[in-house]
Amino acid sequence: MSQRGVKLLPRYYLVVSGIGLSRASPINAFDKALKDAGIHNLNLVEVSSILPQDIEELEFRSREELQAYFKPGEIIHVVMAKRLSDGGECIAAGLMWGEGQNSHGYVIEQTLTAPRDEDLERLKLRLLERLKTCFKEGIEIRGITVKEERHRITAARIPEKTYGCAVTALILC
């Protein structure tokens, strides 16, 4: 232990996403989106936007493999984009990230809502443009260079009289 106390410096990360629908409540839609992403039995602590230097990506072949990696109730840190809806519209949640080139990396999260008749691919493209703009400024603010810009966007058309949620999360572990 250092003089500053316990340090938490993740060595790995992974990115998950999910969509949830509920007739009962927005929180149930969020819970179903977490289940769709495979992280519904974990305690999530939201953090800001920095990837430690030399972090490595974990990849799982299935949600079952992901769920076996973590124990139910485990506390995990996430950078999360979450968009809730009361129904009758399209929603999207996305992340853009990059591992640092000789430094730490960066993650940015963004969300969008659109009328229910908007094409989901068009909504994803609009969100991607927003992510690119914000990501570029974020890395300029920090004075860093990233190896490769990557992104993940999840989007859904939420029916009338139904709560919905789109989640994209980068897990630090």
Q: What is the pLDDT of residues 124-166, one digit of tens each?
A: 999 999 999 999 999 999 999 999 999 999 999 999 999 999 9
Say which range, 7-21, 55-69, 111-125, has the weakest mean pLDDT.
55-69
pLDDT in tens, 2-23: 566 667 899 999 999 999 999 9
Residue 120 reports pLDDT greater than 80:
yes
**pTM, full prediction:** 0.93
Q: Which tokens sit at 43?
A: 């305690």
Q: Determine the topology of domain 13-172 in CATH.
A: Pyruvoyl-Dependent Histidine Decarboxylase; Chain B (3.50.20)
Domain ranges of the chain: 13-172
Among the residue ranges 39-48, 59-68, 158-167, the one predicted with the least confidence is: 59-68
